[in-house]
């Protein structure tokens, strides 16, 4: 019983600590309509990313991620490694 209680406490605290964040990255080097596909793939491949909306018209990537699993620097790295350097847009 004590063990079970511990498990519940652990699960509850884990979900309470997980913080979902949404950031907007500017990806100025996207130069055609297929670029967002590559950028989106690079972002969704990052562990902790739950959603990535990449738009060519605005050259923006709106990324939703778990703050406990990844961070902005990792997201920027991911797009940069895919050939599209990005910067955090406020």
Q: Which residues bind Cu ion (CB under 5 A)?
A: 32, 34-35
Q: Residue 28 contacts by C-beta under 8 Å, 6 or more apart in sequence?
A: 59, 85
Q: 72-81 and 35-44 are packed helices; what angle lies between their axes, rounded to 10 degrees?
A: 140
CB 1 to Cu ion: min, Å = 59
In the bound state with Cu ion, the residue whose beta carbon lies nearer, of 15 and 34, is 34
Q: Within 10 Å of residue 59's Cβ, how many Cβ atoms?
A: 20
In the bound state with Cu ion, the residue whose beta carbon lies nearer, of 63 and 82, is 82
CB 55 to Cu ion: min, Å = 13
CB 54 to Cu ion: min, Å = 11
- Report d(CA 24, CA 15) in Å as an integer: 24
In the bound state with Cu ion, the residue whose beta carbon lies nearer, of 35 and 60, is 35
């Amino acid at each position: 019983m004590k063990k079970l209680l511990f498990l519940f406490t652990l699960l509850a605290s884990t979900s309470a600590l997980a913080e979902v964040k949404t950031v907007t990255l500017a990806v100025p080097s996207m130069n055609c309509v297929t670029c967002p596909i590559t950028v989106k793939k690079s972002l969704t491949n990052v562990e902790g990313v739950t959603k990535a909306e990449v738009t060519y018209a605005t050259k923006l990537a709106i990324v939703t991620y778990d703050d406990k699993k990844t961070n902005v620097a990792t997201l920027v790295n991911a797009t940069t490694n895919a050939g599209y350097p990005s910067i955090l847009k406020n």
